[in-house]
Each structure stands twice: as structure tokens, then as C-alpha cells.
Structure 1
Amino acid sequence: MKVVALVSGGKDSCFAMMRCIDYGHEIVALANLMPMDDSVDELDSYMYQTVGHQIIVSYAECMGLPLFRRRIRGTSRDQRLNYAITPGDEVEDLFILLNEVKQQIPSITAVSSGAIASDYQRLRVESVCSRLGLVSLAYLWKQDQTFLLTEMIRRGILAITVKVAAIGLSPAKHLGRELADLEVPLLELKERYGINVCGEGGEYETLTLDCPLFSNARIVLDKYDVVLHSADSIAPVGIIHPLAFHPEYKNENSSRSSSNDNVVSNGLHKVHEVEGDFVLPDIVKCQSSDLPSDAEKKLELCISNMGGELFSLGCWIQNPSRTSKGLQDDLASVLRRIELQLSENGFDWSNVLYVHLYISNMEGFALANEVYVKFITEKKCHLGVPSRSTIELPLLEVGLGSGYVEVLVAKEQSKRVLHVQSISSWAPSCIGPYSQATLFKEVLYMAGQLGLDPPTMMLSPGGATAELEQALINCEAVANCFNSFISSSTILFVIYCSSCLTSTERVEIQHKMAHYIQQEASNVHQTRRMPNPIFLYILAPDLPKGASVEIKPVLYVPENAEDEVQIRESRPASKISKQLNDSALQVYAISGKICTVLVSVTNDFVKKSCSETDVKSGNWHRSERNLQTMATFCVVFLNKILSENDFSWGDLINLRFYYTTNLFGSADTLDKIFTEAFAELSLVNNCIKIGETPRYNLVPVLGSGRSASMDDIITCELFASKL
């Protein structure tokens, strides 16, 4: 990509440019924000480093690139973590600056910044990039600061300190010193006082005078004053105010023009002063505000019990031969119907924690996203957009439309999301309105993770197991942001496998998963014994980006890590359980909090439950009586497990029945049979309270199960919570 680099003069923004080049991008322009008054060194800004700004004019000449500069007119008006467009805010100066760069150089598609740990700065850069249709590149984000400091020095960044403001740093002793000379002292101060060795806590600021990107010249600081801002005895604050400087050219072909000259040697690269004022953007009426049609109001809905804090809502189009108009129209109808249902119950998209997006053809993934962003936006979700997983399913084959959506809704708006849109070396970015993970009531719902190499956003080479390994690394990076670990905190792993994989490759994936969990668990200090997570494998026709595998973890993240938690691994001893092999049942229950169940209905069950004639003929699934037997077993068995773990159907959050399309006909038939099974359970056992009739989603798949063989006939996935 062609990149405009935000430069403050500091080491971080310069090293960020170098990392962009490492990953094949091209820096084509520079952008800088400076104070209104040249004599002012430092502003009271939450966003911008301005100390040493007088020297930035030389960067255009040193690098042979156009430099766009704007004087900062705004202030930090919106100081919330998640920024909203605010007239007069300093963020709008960045917007105006980058908008001008984009107008002058239309080929630019990305913006580089040196953010390392500040969510405040990163989110504001991402907000501006999103408004301008640009990609944020933040290759230093979440990187170990000791490693970064060492790499900056090793790779030839010559930077001096222009501000010190931390215990152990003295203006008289440390101002104007080269970064390389301060490496050892900084590391010692980290050990002694816990300072950020890259200065992310405001401990110090730097000014880069030379680096490998300065191909034409280096900067020589001829004269400066030391300004003492605070004579505090513990952490005195001092800055350098440049008085005179000049470029020192590196070869005879370099420009001989003055650093105050706007034009460098080739006559094309200039320093551009960007003027202009903030203009409130037009608010475009989005498609989702349109009212659903009468036909859309009749779309099939599945709403779980709404008595608790959480409930799930599924919507799909039935009999698509009469109503389906293609993926875009189908998905718009489904999302509009969900939006209406949320509104009727006093909720909106900001209440949604998670979205399962099922589409009939992955070739329409881009079109599906176009529809999706018209309904679910950051503006509508003030606490953050929901997390999401997307896979292709054989929807049309069972009489459903091209789009099928299931959302997890919280009545209370207290979720915490992680939504990083910048491309970095940390974990795959979410360039769009969905978050990497959403935490609510001690449960972390993670977006589907592909085996993408974070800095390139390309699938890891080496086949399915290499993709799986990278996906697990990505999951771990996200989990760590919530002070958690995939290996020791995961309740449930859903592993989506593409149908392009061979049976051998799927087995290798299963072995890799088991080995990873076992190995990582032994490396992580655990304060309590945690059982192995539940594994659910789903065979899908296709996955985003043509991936071989996608992982969707659900984690338990207790608010107080020191609390004693009772873990119950349940295996009901009821007679009906004898119809199952031990391996066909997985239960993960945290007493009084969570109950997750996976039940596999296998061929062994069919042989025991159906007539010998049906089994031999292979027509058992064509018998409604046999299907009723299977459905009755599922609901009775799930009821037994809930009861033995002190849960009821009123605690149900979601219930999915995955069924293989080659064994069953339309979804209508199966839906009718399961509905009757629950009705019979209610009448016979009287275990379902009024208003708590379980609702479920029927999910058509190519295969499912607790192992990578995915040879279950039906797999039941249940999640109940009292949180």
C-alpha cells in the first residue's frame, strides 16, 4: 500500500515507517501537526508530541518526500476513550490534515503511526482513518518496549532526548543524549521503578536526527536552549528548545537547498501548509432505518428465554423459492427484522454482544459486509461493536434463505470490547464494525479467528495446521488483553473446518489442538484447576478468505482471580445416558455460574434406537418416528444434565442443533419434530415453567461432532448462565 506517515519527530514514528517498508509498503508522504505559535514547544495535548517541532520541516528534504503540516487549532474536548466527532477537538485537525493529503495524493490508502500502548491515541487515529476510507498501520502496537528500544538502536535510529519527566532522569544529565547512550540506564530504571523504556508513560520524548530512511541528509542541531519546566526533586521536567539546525548531506547528489526552502532537489517535493476549518459531515440516512415490509415482519424468529440478563435471537428466511432475492436482499431483510425485534423489546444494536453470520456462498462475503455495515455501526454501538464469526453454510439446500443471523443480546449495557482496526504485529485487525472480543459478566466471547499473519493480513503458508497454529497465537494475543489465557480459561472451542480439507488434515488439526492446549496449560501458572475445554468441530463448505480453519473460543474470565470457583465435570448416571458412549458427552459447569453442554448423537445411537430394518436399509432418517425418537432423547437428556448441575431451562442462553444436510430434508420437518419433543417434555416432566419454553436454532452443516471426524448425525450445543 501507499502510505502517508504521521511524524512527530520522535523515534517511534520513524521506526513505524521502517516497519511499514519491512512489510512491503511504500511511504509516499509525511504528515505533521504543530503548534499555532512556532515559539511554543509543547502543547497540553493528549494526542500529539510537539517538542522539537521546529526541526520537522527538514524531514521533507532528508527523505525526499512531500511534507504536509497543519497548525493545531483544536483542544482535547472529547476526552472519552471512544472518540465521537467533536467540532473544535484536536482530532479534527488530524482529519483535515489527512483529508488534504488524500486529495493531493489519491493513491494513498494507508496511514502509519507510532502508537505502542495508548488506546486513546490509537482509537482516534483509527476513527479518522475510518472516516477517510484509509487503513491504519500501527506496527509498534502492543510490542514489547524493551525489544522495540533495542531494535530502534540496532537498526540505526539516531535520536536524542528532547524532554525528560521521570524519576531517575535529570534534565542536566540526560537531555540531548543519544538514545543508544541511554539504553542501559533506561533498562535499569525499568527494573528499579517500572518506567516505560520507550517513554510511553511520558517519561521522555525524543527527536530523530538520522535514520536509514533519511537517504538525502541527516539533521545537525547546532544550538538549543534547555528549558526547565519543573525543578521537582524527584522527577524534574526539562525540554530542549531548538534555536539553529541544518541538514548535513550524505552524498554529492543530495540537495544543497536550505532547510527553509520548500522545494527540494527534484522540484516535486514540497512542504505544504494545510489550512481549512472543521465542517460537520452530512448525516446520511442508512438503509436500516427503513421499516420492515409486511413480508419481512413474518420472517422466522427464534428468541431464547428473555427472563435473564442474556438472550439469543435468530432470524432466517424460510421457503426462499418464494421470497429470496439473493444474498444482499436476504441479509438486509433478516437484519432489518432483528433490528425491529430489538426495538420492540426496548433494545438496539448496542445491546448485542455477538453476531453469528451465516451465508450461503462465501463468494458474496464482500457484499454481505456491505449490507452488514449499514445496520451495525460504531455510531449505533457507543460501548463498542459486537464480535462476530462468519462461515458459509448449506442454507439453500434445506429451504432457508441466503442469509441467516443469530445475535446474543444483553439487557444491561455494560460490555467491554476490544476493537483494534489498525494493522499491526499484535493480532489480526478488524477492519470493519466488529470487535476481536467482547466481555460480559465474566464470559469472553471471541470473534472467529483465522490463521492470518497480523502484519500482512495474509493466511499463514504451510497448510491447515500452520493456519491453526497462527489462529491459536492470535487467540492468545486477544485473550491476554483481558488478562486471560486460551489454554487455561477456555470453556468452549468451536473449530470450523473447510470442506476442502482431507480427513487426514482434519485429524492433524484435532491432534494439533489437543497438543497446544496441553502444552500451553503446562506453561501457564494456574491459580485453580480447570478442566479441559469442550471441543466442537463443524464442517463448513467455505470460510472467509478461503481459510482452512476458523476458531471461535468462549472463555471464562472471573472478575476476581482469587475467588474460589467450583468446577463440576458432570456425567449423568441416568439410564438414558447408557445409550451414549462416554466420548459423546462433554459438560463444563462452573457451579452457580455457567453450564455448557455438548451432546453427540452418533451412528451407535441410531443402531440402538432404530429398527434393524431401517438401519440396514440406510433409510432410518426418512422415518418420522425415528427422528422423533432422536429428538426426544436430545431434549430429555439435556434436561437431565441441566438439572444435575442445578440449572433450569430458564437459564438457557442459546441452544443449537447442528444437523448434516445429506441426512435430512427441509429444516421445516426437523423444526416441527423438535418443537413437539419439547412440548412432550413439558407435559410429561412438568419441568418447564410458563414462559420458559426453550427456543433453539437449527444449523445445517456438512458435518459436526466432538472430534475432527465430524460424523455426528446431530450435535447439540447448549449454553446456560446465571451470571
Structure 2
Amino acid sequence: MPDNLNVIALISGGKDSFFSILHCLRHNHRVVALANLHAGTDAAVQAIHPETAPREVHPAPEDSDLNSFMYQTVGHGVIPLYAAATGLPLYRRAITGGAAQSARDYDGAVAASGGAEEEAESMTELLRAVMERHPEANAVCAGAILSTYQRTRVESVAVRLELVPLAYLWKYPSLPAPGGDDAQLLRDMYAAGLDARIIKVASAGLDESMLWERISSEAGIARARKGLRFYGGGEGAVLGEGGEFETVVVDGPPSLFRGRVAVEEGARMVVREGGGCSWLSFSEARVEEKGGEGGGEAQVRVPDMLDSKFAAILEALRGGPSVTEVDPAVNHPLPRLADLRLSAQADGNSPSTGGGDTHWGCFADPLALGASIEEEARSVMDKVAGHVQPSSPRCITNTIVLLRRMSDFPAVNKIYGALFQFPNPPSRVTISCGGLLPEGRNIAVYITYRPDLAAGDRNGLHVQSRSYWAPANIGPYSQAIDVPIQSRFTSESSSAGGPRWVAIAGQIPLIPATMELPPPSEEASLTLSVVLSLQHLWRIGVEKQVQVWSSAVAYFPCAPDAERMAHRARLAGIAWKEAHAEPGEEDEDDGLQSGPDLWDRTYNPNYMTLGDGPAGPAPLPDWEVFEDSEGLSQREPPLFAVEAEELPRGAAVEWHAHGGLSGVEPRAVRTGTCSGVSAIKSRSVHWRSCVTAVTCGQQTLLHNVVTIEQEMSGEPEVAMEGIESLESVFRAIWKGTMATAGVEVDVLDAMQPPRPYLIYGTVSDGHGGERACGEAPSGVPFIPCRSIWDVDGRRVVAVALFRDTF
């Protein structure tokens, strides 16, 4: 059952913070207190109890506004009335300090270490005071919708205070809505009985005649949309997300408001700041009893769990074509690579590298074996920290954690997280391999890192709040990290153009609002789990503007038999194929794209003017980036399924996209496949190679997925005695693939093929050899698998991933 939390509600007086409270109540959480930060100089926390709360206020005239990126302060004179209006205790504190950290993502450790006082830390002191008076409090809610600047600061404070952050409105405009309207949030507020009035306008499209307009109404929506559209308001503008307007809530449903806030017309005075900015200053306000009017519970709409695209995929899996049908694999011509300057960078004798990244992994030091899992994990993480020196752990973009027992995860996670005490830690994939790890080894960690990253090259997405959008990452890993494909393609500015590589965390089918798995019910649960976790991957990809995936794997827990595992692989394959439907096969973009927030417009050069509004993210997949559009629906990126031992939280599936590409120019991507048979020590090795070539300025990124397929009479395992070096086999196949793509033989003979950056192999218990698992300094990260399957439900022996730039 979902946990029922005791919530401290951060309020500004505006519509979003109060609507967030209604969603907390909708999920059966209990709001224990309201908390508010306001303009002023007194840092003492003021407690206002409902029984003694004022029912009338006479605020001092306001002639200026704090204009904070973080807090709404206009109209703060009426805030004391909310204790009487809601029957909840209210705690207030003045905002002290300034925005010393103007970066979008907030580093709480820097703020706590001293130096310039941060305005965000006023929230820390306020919440700490509330917790002293309400020790049962274990969560905090806020009304962030599109503002990463605001959300990351609330999350930083909440996590440090061990409070669960709740942001049910996060990405609300992009979630499934009845009419697909960017104003759906306002309509939902109206349906719930929330009365929100505009008290400040700061857009050329909205003049002072909009002041005191009820924005949570059809009339208010129409007026705001007309003005903002005329002046080119972007997505989210009709919600005020770019600072176009601010609101104050004067009434709400009886479940929250026992009284309404009344401000007579004569007590509302317009303050004109200039530049199209004006607001209302109140000289008097009071609470009026509502009596017995109105109904009971608020009608709070919860967005559908699945977008229409993924709801259709779910239906296709449940009642569409039989998943037992197997279509033969089809080869598409490889991209012609005759002019590729392979000798420029390829170095087959260096540590495993790929496209500027370095891949490395390790086990614990032998002296740490046989002790506790904590000691073993500490040894591994000490090795990781030492390996990336003289760089810092910030150069790590992605990790893969292999455990013998998933029950060890909490202990390992605590030690793992100690290395990544900074904003946007690496994305992470975690699986349990059980007895497939070498005997005596309980943990292996693989890292992808880029020691040459310039300042601003590394961007991240780390949402730690519960929402309806995607699962929260409460802990030391981000949903995604993106870096330039090659540092040479960027300048010192993070806004520099060029293709980027996006590393996304493994996605399991948690229901975002509750962080619970779907209820177990055999086949129905498996199907929903496959689709829901794939949607999580897609939403994160869209947010990071991924245009195409390089490849992906769907991990499944240990299956009772091969038939069941083959069925799982086919389910994943159908879902993957449906998600890559050609244009015209589905409705256009299912959800509305996110718009710029106030931070974007001030610091992000892409959004410093509205004009016709910023362009939304590219669709995923973005077929415009492909050079050849023929047969796109037959050319989705490679996918395979892996049978592991266990997955986090006992999940039924975990999706792992090996990489996403963003910032790709039109017609810059070429793909193709080939297959063949190679003789290796009297054995015939059947293989298949899938190549993606991406033009990056004067260079080309090559991503190659090589599969060794199982012969009908062959062994389904990696037999190291039969194939002395699995890595050398894959490198030979890579060389053959390049020859098929037109690369001159003398060029290939003069070079060492690159190492794979990741290998999956089917092994028996205890035979995941240490060298294969990356213990050697030059070893290739290796994931031992109980079985590996293609999307048609056929077993394969091993899969290798290559990535390099030439």
C-alpha cells in the first residue's frame, strides 16, 4: 500500500502551491502545517495557530517587489489569513540572503559550507523550525511546474532534512489531458474549486486590467491566452511559468478552505513599477466564513498514467497481434564508410574508450573480500575515486552496478552515494547477477567518464520529487547526464552547439505519484510494467531532447523456463517497435512540450526573447535526422533482452538505453545491418552487426552493436576455452563489418580495431571471469547473463557494443 505522509506545505499564496496541497490530499497524505517565506528582515520564525490567527489584516503599503527567481513575495500581506482560512498552523520567516548560486541546479553543500548567504537556505531554517514543532512531519510539497531552478532548491533542502519532496504539478502541461490544452492545469483548478486571482502582471501581453481576474476560470484563461499569444508567449506562459503573472488564492474546496479571503475593491491599489509590470497592494483583507455551502471532497483530476501513445502500445500487447509470431531478421545496407579516416583516433591497445569516453570497472581489493558487504563496497568505491584522479568524480557520467544479491543494495547505495555529493550525480543502472559473478565477489562497478570535460559541458536531469511525470530519483543518481560527443565540438560555453550523448538511468515500472510497483497479477502486470517503464525512458529522453537511441536492453529477472523468457523478450521487442512507429502511424506529439521558466529567460540565451516562442524539443524518434527515410519502421535501434537474477525493488523489467543522441542535424544519421559466419577454431560463429553512423561536423560517430547468435547445435554460453578471447572475436567481427561498409582493406590492416565499451555474455554460475568483468586495467566491462535474447525470442550467445569517433 502507498505510504501516507505527513506534509509541510510550502505556500507563496499563489495557485500552484495550493493546488499542490489538493493533490497531496487526493493521495491521502495529511497536511500538518503551512510554511511561507516572505520579504523582510526579521529571520525569526513566526507561528500562527488557527485558534488565535487573525481574521483581518491591514498590510503596510507595498512599493517594491523582491522579484526573486525562487519566491513569490507580492501580496504577502494576506498570508497570515491562511491559518484561519484553512484551519492549519502557519509558520513564516523572512527571506535573507540572495541568489549567490545563479546556476539552474543547486549545490546545497556549497551553501552549507559558508560564504555568501543563499536565499534558498532561508527555507532550511523555516522547515527545521516547523519540524521541531511537528516531529511527525516527513514530507514537503511545493508547486513547481516547469522551473528546475525552484524544484532543485526545494529538493536540496528537503533531502538534507530527510523530508520526502512532493511536486505533483511537475511537468503537468506535458501530461495526458482531456483536451491536450496547455491551460488544462487552470481548468483542473477551476474544477477543484480553487479561486486564484491575478495580482501581478509582468508581460507586454497582459496589462493592469488583468489584475484581480480569476485566472482559474474560462474567462480568465481566454483573456490571458489572447494577450500572451499576441506577443508570442511560449508554452507555459498561460500558466505564468515565465513570470508573466502571479496570483493569490482567495478560496478553495471545503476539504482545504473553511473560509474565504475577501479583499474589497477599495482596498486594492495598483502599483506601477514600469516596463509593463504592475501589481496590487492590499490595505485591508479579511476571512469570511463559508458556512455549510459547497460539497465535500475536492474534484482533483489525476492525470492518466499512460500517454495515448503508450496506452495504445499497452493495448497492442494485450490484445493485438500474437506475440508468438517471429519475423525473420532483415538486413539493410550498411552506410558507406569508404572515406572514413579510421586511423585518426582508433587505438585498440588503449583502455576501453568510445567517442571520447573512457569505460572502466573493478571489483573490491582481495583484502576486502570475505568481510562485510560494506567493506567490499567501500573498497570498490575507493578504487573508483582513485581511478578518475586527478579529475574529480564529476567527470563520471554513468555507472553500472552489478550485485550478487539485491538485498545488499541499501548498504551498497549508502557507500556509493558518499562519492557523489554534488548536483547531477552520474546516471546509473543496477542489476543483480546472482551466482554469475565470480566466486567470492559480491559487487562490481563500471564507470563511464570523461576527464577532459570543460566547465559547462556536463548537463544533468535529477528530479527527486514525487510527481505524475516519471519516478523520482531519491538518491545518488540522476535520470540523465548529457555531454558533447567530443569535447572539441564545444566551446567553453554550455550553450555551444553540436551533437550530445545522453546517458540515462535504468528505468523500472514505478508509478511516479506513489513510487510503488504495479500490483502483481501475472501477465497483466508484466505487460503494464514493460510499457510503463518504457514510457519513463521516453519521457526522460524527450526532456533531454534525445532524437534517436543508439541501442537498448531490457533486463528481466530470472525466469522459470526458457519459454517464459522468450515471451518476455518478444513483449519488449513489440513495445520497442511500436514506440518507433513511423510518422503518420500515430498522432502527433502526445503531450505538450515544456516551456521556458523565469531562470531560462534570464540566463539561457536560447530563451532570452519570446518572439514566436521557443521551439519545443525534437520528437522521439526524430526521423528528420535520418539520411534515408525508406523503411523507417523496419529500422528501430537494436534491442535485446537479458535474463538477470534480480532487479531493483523486485521489478519485472528494467529498460537500459545505452545512449541517446541530441543536437543532431537533419540527415546526419545513417544506419544499416549485415550478418555473416566466421570460423573461429573450427567453430562457425554466426553474427549480426548493426551500425549507426552520425555525422558530427568533420567527423563521424560510429556506434556498432555486434551479436553472436547461437547455432542450433551450439552451446548457449560463452565458452572461454572454445573462444579464447571473446573480445578478440568481437573485434574481428567489427573489422569485417567495416570492410563490408567499404573501408579499404589496407586501412583496416594498418590499425587495431577499437575495444568494445560493453559486452554481455551468457555464462554459468561462477564463470563470470574476473578479466572479462573488467578487473584488469584494460579489461572491457562485462555483464554476465543467464540468457540473452533477440526481439524475436531467439537466444544469442553474446552482444558487444562499440562506439568511437573518427
Q: TM-score range by the shorter chain?
A: 0.7 to 0.9
Correspondent of 1:241 among 281, 284, 289? 281
CA contact (8 A) 2:707 2:798 kept: yes
Aligned-pair distance for 1:126? 1.1
- For residues 491-511 of structure 1, what are the alpha-carbon distances to aligned partners after superposition, in whole Å with 9 as ceiling and x for unaligned? 111110011566555444434
Q: Which amino acid aligns with 2:388?
A: L
Aligned ranges for residues 295-314 of structure 1 at < 5 Å? 304-305=351-352, 309-314=356-361
Aligned-pair distance for 1:720? 1.7
Map of 1:61 onto structure 2: 84
Instruction: Tell me: CA distance 1:472–1:397, structure 2 relative to 1, closer, same or farther (3 Å).
Output: closer
CA contact (8 A) 2:460 2:478 kept: yes
Aligned ranges for residues 336-415 of structure 1 at < 5 Å? 336-343=382-389, 346-378=390-422, 384-395=424-435, 398-413=438-453, 414-415=457-458
Structure 2: distance between partners of 1:63 and 1:336: 52
Structure 1: distance between partners of 2:437 and 2:77: 66
CA contact (8 A) 1:12 1:115 kept: yes
The SS at the match of 1:456 is coil
CA contact (8 A) 2:393 2:420 kept: yes
Map of 2:321 onto structure 1: none
Correspondent of 1:513 among 565, 572, 575? 572
The SS at the match of 2:539 is helix
Asked if 1:667 is matched to 2:769, the reply is yes
Asked if 1:204 is matched to 2:245, the reply is yes
The SS at the match of 2:757 is strand
Correspondent of 1:6 among 10, 19, 28? 10
Correspondent of 1:433 among 456, 476, 480? 476
Map of 1:72 onto structure 2: 95
CA contact (8 A) 1:305 1:650 kept: no
Instruction: Tell me: CA distance 1:588–1:231, structure 2 relative to 1, closer, same or farther (3 Å).
Output: closer
Q: Where does structure 1 lack aligned partners over 5 or more consecutive residues?
A: 254-301, 608-617, 676-692
TM-score after normalising by structure 1: 0.80
Map of 1:688 onto structure 2: none
Correspondent of 1:187 among 225, 237, 252? 225
Map of 1:267 onto structure 2: none
Map of 1:655 onto structure 2: 758
Correspondent of 1:526 among 574, 598, 623? 623
The SS at the match of 2:122 is helix
CA contact (8 A) 1:6 1:111 kept: yes
Structure 1: distance between partners of 2:739 and 2:363: 31
The SS at the match of 2:284 is strand
Structure 1: distance between partners of 2:709 and 2:778: 19
The alignment-based identity, stated in percent, is: 25
The SS at the match of 1:9 is coil
- For residues 553-584 of structure 1, what are the alpha-carbon distances to aligned partners after superposition, in whole Å with 9 as ceiling and x for unaligned? 1344242433x3241414266754994556x5
The SS at the match of 2:412 is helix
Structure 2: distance between partners of 1:631 and 1:308: 19
CA contact (8 A) 1:392 1:542 kept: yes
Aligned-pair distance for 1:668? 5.2
Question: What is the alpha-carbon root mean square deviation over aligned residues?
Answer: 3.2
Structure 1: distance between partners of 2:167 and 2:241: 15
Bigger helix fraction: 1
Structure 2: distance between partners of 1:574 and 1:34: 72
Instruction: Tell me: CA distance 1:351–1:500, structure 2 relative to 1, closer, same or farther (3 Å).
Output: same
Map of 2:531 onto structure 1: 469
CA contact (8 A) 2:686 2:708 kept: no
CA contact (8 A) 1:465 1:508 kept: no
CA contact (8 A) 1:537 1:708 kept: no
CA contact (8 A) 2:756 2:780 kept: no
Map of 1:544 onto structure 2: 648
Instruction: Tell me: CA distance 1:407–1:668, structure 2 relative to 1, closer, same or farther (3 Å).
Output: closer
Q: Which amino acid aligns with 1:312?
A: H
Q: For structure 1, which segment, 510-519 or 147-156, has the greater mean C-alpha deviation from structure 2 after superposition? A: 510-519
Aligned-pair distance for 1:237? 2.1
The SS at the match of 1:450 is coil
Structure 1: distance between partners of 2:685 and 2:665: 36
Aligned-pair distance for 1:107? 1.3
Structure 2: distance between partners of 1:653 and 1:634: 8
Aligned ranges for residues 434-453 of structure 1 at < 5 Å? 434-440=477-483, 441=485, 442-453=500-511
Map of 1:154 onto structure 2: 191
Map of 1:493 onto structure 2: 552
CA contact (8 A) 2:507 2:655 kept: yes
Structure 2: distance between partners of 1:505 and 1:671: 28
Structure 2: distance between partners of 1:319 and 1:708: 42
Q: Which amino acid aligns with 1:660?
A: V
Aligned-pair distance for 1:352? 0.4
Map of 2:733 onto structure 1: 637
Q: For structure 1, which segment, 458-467 or 391-400, has the greater mean C-alpha deviation from structure 2 after superposition? A: 391-400
Q: Give the number of the structure whose alpha-carbon radius of gyration is greater.
A: 1
The SS at the match of 2:25 is helix
CA contact (8 A) 2:259 2:289 kept: yes
- For residues 659-708 of structure 1, what are the alpha-carbon distances to aligned partners after superposition, in whole Å with 9 as ceiling and x for unaligned? 3225x746259789x99xxxxxxxxxxxxxxxxx9632333222123347
Count, aligned residues: 628
Q: Which amino acid aligns with 2:655?
A: I
Map of 2:259 onto structure 1: 217
Instruction: Tell me: CA distance 1:313–1:216, structure 2 relative to 1, closer, same or farther (3 Å).
Output: same
Q: Which amino acid aligns with 1:390?
A: T
The SS at the match of 1:120 is helix
Instruction: Tell me: CA distance 1:653–1:339, structure 2 relative to 1, closer, same or farther (3 Å).
Output: farther
Aligned-pair distance for 1:357? 0.7
Structure 1: distance between partners of 2:756 and 2:731: 15
Aligned-pair distance for 1:130? 1.9
Structure 2: distance between partners of 1:472 and 1:490: 13
CA contact (8 A) 2:503 2:660 kept: no
Aligned-pair distance for 1:377? 1.8
Instruction: Tell me: CA distance 1:176–1:658, structure 2 relative to 1, closer, same or farther (3 Å).
Output: same
Instruction: Tell me: CA distance 1:715–1:174, structure 2 relative to 1, closer, same or farther (3 Å).
Output: same
Structure 1: distance between partners of 2:773 and 2:664: 42
Asked if 1:704 is matched to 2:704, the reply is no
Map of 1:275 onto structure 2: none
The SS at the match of 1:594 is strand
Aligned-pair distance for 1:410? 0.7
Structure 1: distance between partners of 2:363 and 2:127: 42
CA contact (8 A) 1:390 1:543 kept: yes
CA contact (8 A) 1:305 1:311 kept: yes
Q: Which amino acid aligns with 2:763?
A: T
